[in-house]
Amino acid sequence: MKNKREPKICFVSSSGGHWEQLQKLKPLSEKYSGFFVTEKTKFDAPLAKYFMIQTDLKDKMMILKMLWNTLYACFIWVKERPDFIITTGTMVAYPFYILSIVFRKKFVFIETFGRANMPTVAGKRMEKHSDLFIVQWETQKKYYKKAIYGGCLY
């Protein structure tokens, strides 16, 4: 008989609006075993268990920060062994996205509420290997092949 454990969910997103949206999934994290990952900022994030280094595409240190975040994501991955990754984006989610592909875990991307009439870079890149790709605006469906409309998290 196989030892069945409760599925574990990794909720990961950058700070700000992405984080605000992801926190709306707290009931899901309570129903199943879940943990939250976000960026370390000056703002409080009491739900977060792990904090990554904040970066963006315009950051001159982006490559080094992403390397560090990737190593830290690997540590988190080994420690937590998630079965599902759910994200609202962006840079901080990339290492978890790659790990979900490598280890064949389910990846759920929820496109940000803030982009009703245009796709995001993260959405365009992560759609390909996502198992479920949810948009929060009907108008976003035209930008993505795999998108389903799920309504807004707010």
Q: In whole angstroms, what is the distance from residue 20 CA to residue 37 CA? A: 12
Domain count, the chain: 1
Structure tokens at 85: 């990754």
Going by C-alpha positions, the residue among 149, 9, 152, 30 that lies closest to residue 86 is 9
Is position 108 within any domain?
yes
Q: In whole angstroms, what is the distance from residue 110 CA to residue 148 CA? A: 10
Structure tokens at 32: 């199943």
- Kindly report, residue by residue over 44-53, the tens digit of the pLDDT: 889 999 999 9
Is position 39 within any domain?
yes
Mean pLDDT across the chain: 93
Supply the CATH number for residue 42's domain: 3.40.50.2000
Is position 3 within any domain?
no
- Kindly report, residue by residue over 142-152, the tens digit of the pLDDT: 999 999 999 98
Range of the domain at 144: 8-149
Tell me the CA distances in angstroms from 135 to 21, 28, 115, 138, one per residue in order: 12, 18, 10, 7
